[in-house]
Amino acid sequence: MTFDLTAMRAQFPILEQEVYGKPLVYLDNAASVQKPRAVIERMTDVLTGGYANVHRGLHFMSNKATADYETARESVRKYLNAASKDEIIFTMGGTDAINLVAHSLGVAQLQEGDEIILSVMEHHSNIVPWHLLRERKGIVLKWLDVSEDGDIDLAAFEALFSDRTKLVGVTGLSNVLGCEPPVQEMAEIAHAHNALMLVDGCQKSVHGPVDVQALGVDFYILTGHKVYGPNGIGVLYGRKKILDQMPPFRGGGEMIDKVTQDEVTYNDPPHRFEAGTPPITEAIALGAAVEWVMQQDIQGVQAHERALTDHAMEALGALNFITLYGRDPEKGPVVAFNLEGAHPHDVSTILDRSGVAVRAGHHCCQPLMHKLGVTATARASFAAYNSHEEIDVFVEALHKAHNMLG
């Protein structure tokens, strides 16, 4: 297969519009990517010809929706190379998936004084749920430092373990620095110390299929809106042996086996963790999204995103009024920066008037911002449909912002 940028862009209707009379240059993909026509049309198909509540219904429409819903689960299983689709739990998003693990483990397995190791570059979604356990159960949080480029010292990582360490939580790809932690090696170290390994893969999984079995992780998190799918849907992958031991996160319909006035028994995973009516349309569309990704020239897309990142880093690195954060030459397509003497919010606002959409703020990574000695950065991030010409427009807009704010 040969990567064709023109054909790729043609699949995204939103890219045809203008902003303030200028072509849209969407560089906020680390926050949420745009949707290809295949996903949009799949959602329309469900809502116009295949919607009903899933499971337990005996009529045609319910059977069709259930089959489509479970087919989507199988698509996600393939995308993550899970051993069984029973290891794929649909959630309301990545944040919801991490909260599920934190709450379920906290109830069933964690005691006061037990330890959880987190890196300082985690998204708040992989920090706050563990802080809740710290506040409510006396769990101890231990912090893994990283270099300013996001490098991890594995010896320092292993030195954090004790016989009370129960879990490690780490990002699959930093949404600020763009670096990728050595997840497989970290999982091996965690397991050697009888601890579980959770990876927040929301940033990583958009760039191609993931092999959770090869990584050796116990939990992997995916969110729909960052993998060309809809929002309101996410995935928790969990090893079946572990899920079987975890109590429910929420109570309601579907997650039960039997309910009487005196007791409740629970369904097997994954249904044990999918209480109530699930996000049916969104789950089916997520299945369409990961199938769409798997149909692409993955190596071509990754090479294109690599070239975009290198182009942006070289162009911004040549500007004496820009500070870049995260310079790993193998980093993912995320470029965090600040313009000298200007607040990132002001920079973002001026870029927007040139049609360029970037993110500005702490990116839900305040511990990392503290590490970097800033309160916020601007951030450009790239997806398969972005072009080198768009980066040039972005750089030209930065010059305008510097002239106005510098």
Tell me the pLDDT tens digit for each residue of 266-291.
Answer: 999 999 999 999 999 999 999 999 99
What's CA 266's distance to the chain center, in Å?
29
- Whether residue 319 sits in one domain with residue 236: no
- Whether residue 11 sits in one domain with residue 119: no
Q: What's 331's DSSP letter?
A: -
Q: Based on the structure, what is the number of domains in the chain?
A: 2
* Boundaries of domain holding 352: 5-29+297-405
- Whether residue 148 sits in one domain with residue 275: yes
Q: What's 290's DSSP letter?
A: H
Element (H, E) at 119: strand 115-119
Q: Identify whether 141 is part of a domain.
A: yes
Can you give the CATH number for the domain in which 270 is found?
3.40.640.10
- Whether residue 250 sits in one domain with residue 151: yes
The percentage of the chain sitting over the pLDDT mark of 70, rounded to a whole number, equals 100
The percentage of the chain sitting over the pLDDT mark of 90, rounded to a whole number, equals 97
Q: Identify whether 36 is part of a domain.
A: no
Token pair, residue 357, equals: 């959409």
Note the pTM of the prediction, 2 decimals.
0.97
- Whether residue 192 sits in one domain with residue 159: yes
- Whether residue 263 sits in one domain with residue 348: no
CA dist 365 and 209 (Å) reads 25
Q: Identify whether 35 is part of a domain.
A: no
Residue 2 is predicted with a pLDDT of: 78
Last residue of a domain, one of 243, 267, 294: 294
Token pair, residue 239, equals: 């090893």
Q: Identify whether 189 is part of a domain.
A: yes
Q: Identify whether 326 is part of a domain.
A: yes
Mean pLDDT over residues 241-265, rounded?
95
Q: Quick one: residue 114, left, alpha or beta (phi over 0 = left, psi -120 to 50 = alpha)?
A: beta
Residue 306 is predicted with a pLDDT of: 97
CA dist 184 and 217 (Å) reads 7
Whether the pLDDT of residue 161 is over 90: the answer is yes
Whether the pLDDT of residue 406 is over 80: the answer is no
- Whether residue 168 sits in one domain with residue 149: yes
Is the backbone peptide bond immediately before 270 cis, with ω within 30 degrees of 0?
Answer: yes
Across the chain, mean pLDDT equals 97
Diameter of the chain measured on Cα atoms: 71
Q: Identify whether 336 is part of a domain.
A: yes
- Whether residue 183 sits in one domain with residue 103: yes
pLDDT digits 0-9 by tens, 299-349: 999 999 999 999 999 999 999 999 999 999 999 999 999 999 999 999 999
Q: For residues 362, 127, 274 and 257, what is the CA-based torsion angle, rounded to 10 degrees?
A: -170
User: Which residue type is seen at 195?
Assistant: A
Q: What are 323's strand-pairing partners?
A: 338
Residue 108 is predicted with a pLDDT of: 86
Q: Pick the catalytic residue: 179, 202, 364, 365?
A: 364
Q: Quick one: pLDDT band at residue 5, thresholds 50, 70, 90?
A: very high
Q: Quick one: pLDDT band at residue 107, thresholds 50, 70, 90?
A: confident
- Whether residue 394 sits in one domain with residue 327: yes
List CB contacts of 390: < 8 A, sequence separation 6 or more: 25, 27, 356
Whether the pLDDT of residue 1 is over 70: the answer is no
Whether the pLDDT of residue 56 is over 90: the answer is no
Last residue of a domain, one of 262, 294, 326: 294
Whether the pLDDT of residue 145 is over 70: the answer is yes
- Whether residue 87 sits in one domain with residue 19: no
Q: Identify whether 75 is part of a domain.
A: yes
Residue 202 appears among annotated catalytic residues: no
- Whether residue 189 sits in one domain with residue 126: yes
Can you give the CATH number for the domain in which 349 is found?
3.90.1150.10
- Whether residue 156 sits in one domain with residue 275: yes
Q: Identify whether 34 is part of a domain.
A: no
Among 197, 206, 187, 210, smallest CA distance to 80 is for: 210
Last residue of a domain, one of 294, 320, 349: 294
Mean pLDDT over residues 353-374, rounded?
98
Token pair, residue 118, equals: 């987190």
Whether the pLDDT of residue 125 is over 80: the answer is yes
Give the 3-state secondary structure of residue 263. Answer: coil
